[in-house]
Structure 1
Amino acid sequence: MTASFAAPRYIVDGGTEATSVLRRLARAGWTTREGFALPENTWDVSGTRLVLFGRVADADTAELAVLAAARGAGVVAIADAGSDVGRALYADLARVGPVSVDPDAPVAGESDEPASSGPQLAPEQRALLERLAGGETIAAAAAAEFLSLRTANRRIAEAREVLGVRTTREAVLAYLRIRRETREG
């Protein structure tokens, strides 16, 4: 990405949650537009601070949403997380970057600091680290999370970078410390 900020990616259950997220994004300086189709004239739209939104009920719409995210647009998708389309959408968007399913999660560019201090791991990274903390191998954790071993290794490497550590063991220990502090605080 050419911009210094990450495009937000949200999957929410309904219009109320989407409206809440979109209002917060608009206050933070993002431009929102309904629909996931982007113009053909430029590939990289990451510098435009554009967020596309809409209902994702089929594979074709999910494909458009993922393509928009890959091109640098933010995405707020209204989808049933338990459906095949919702699960596939989450998995594909997570390959582009972190995805939030919490409409109350902080949005990029908000002036308020997030309530939790410390590094922010993507749900996929947390799931892998949780499995590693439970004694699973990376291969077993990847299989349990329906990821290829290569993708799991990339997610763990990204988690090490976020956590500021060099080894996977250090990442697991840092994750456990953060989890403990979050539960206590």
Structure 2
Amino acid sequence: MAGDPAHAPRYVVASGGDATSVLRRLARAGWTTREGFALTDQAWDVSDARLALYGRVAEGDTAELALLAAARGAGIVAICDAGGDIGRALLADLARIGPVSTDPDADLGTTPEPDSGGPQLAPEQRALLERLAGGETIAAAAAAEFLSLRTANRRIAEAREVLGVRTTREAVLAYLRIRREGG
């Protein structure tokens, strides 16, 4: 059964930094992010693909592509001035499809982390460990989570400390054990 385009996340944010924050959260929640608003998929409804498109919207043609992608069920993270003519029009048009946020900290279309009594890993730590458990390198996991390699290594070191282990391999195994136990 096809998903509901009204439940896809839609953001109109002012800066690339705000967009990066939103995109990280969406990636952790299972959304695939892709730059640009053009959709080449044959099927009209792309909501089941959990695809979030992003980019700068500075002209009407790009705004139209973003609106069309949102109507087809894609998540949207548009970088533009919400107070300008194009930004106001884009906000109004997207709002006809469903909720839109200009706040990069709003959680549209994401799911919260489960609460558990065990060690409390930050969402970035969980996302990195999940990717490492899936066989990705630290560099690939960092890129997929929109983090620098240095930041990813710091987050993994923090996770090792939280989990009380010495190696990244032990951290991944401890994370898998916690995940299996429902934490």
Question: Is 1:93 matched up with 2:99?
Answer: no
Q: Check whether the contact 2:54–2:76 (CA below 8 A) recurs between aligned residues.
A: yes
TM-score by length of 2: 0.59
Work out the CA distance in 2 between the residues paired with 1:55 and 1:48. Answer: 22
Q: Which residue of 2 aligns with 1:20?
A: 21
Q: Which residue of 2 aligns with 1:56?
A: 57
Q: Which residue of 1 aligns with 2:177?
A: none
Question: Is 1:110 matched up with 2:111?
Answer: yes
Deviations 1:104-146 (A, max 9, x none): 0013232249xxxxxxxxxxxxxxxxxxxxxxxxxxxxxxxxx
Work out the CA distance in 2 between the residues paired with 1:40 and 1:26. Answer: 20
Structure 2 unaligned spans of 5+: 115-183
TM-score by length of 1: 0.58
The verdict on how the C-alpha distance between 1:31 and 1:40 changes in structure 2, with shifts beyond 3 A counting, is closer
Could you say which structure has the greater relative contact order, defined with CA pairs below 8 angstroms and 6 or more residues apart? 2
Q: Which residue of 1 aligns with 2:2?
A: 2
Q: Check whether the contact 1:24–1:107 (CA below 8 A) recurs between aligned residues.
A: no
Q: CA deviation at 1:2?
A: 2.1
Work out the CA distance in 2 between the residues paired with 1:108 and 1:43. Answer: 20
The DSSP-based 3-state class of the residue aligned with 2:101 is: coil
The DSSP-based 3-state class of the residue aligned with 2:96 is: helix
Work out the CA distance in 2 between the residues paired with 1:102 and 1:22. Answer: 13
Deviations 1:138-172 (A, max 9, x none): xxxxxxxxxxxxxxxxxxxxxxxxxxxxxxxxxxx
Larger radius of gyration between Structure 1 and Structure 2: 2
- What is the aligned-residue RMSD (CA, Å)? 1.7
Matches within 5 A, 1:74-85: 74-85=75-86
The DSSP-based 3-state class of the residue aligned with 2:76 is: strand
Q: Which residue of 1 aligns with 2:127?
A: none
Paired residues in the alignment total 113
Structure 1 unaligned spans of 5+: 114-185
Work out the CA distance in 2 between the residues paired with 1:45 and 1:64. Answer: 14
Residue 76 of structure 1 aligns with an amino acid whose one-letter code is V
Q: Which residue of 1 aligns with 2:40?
A: 39
Aligned identity (percent) is 68
Range with bigger deviation, 3-12 or 64-73? 3-12
Matches within 5 A, 1:117-128: none
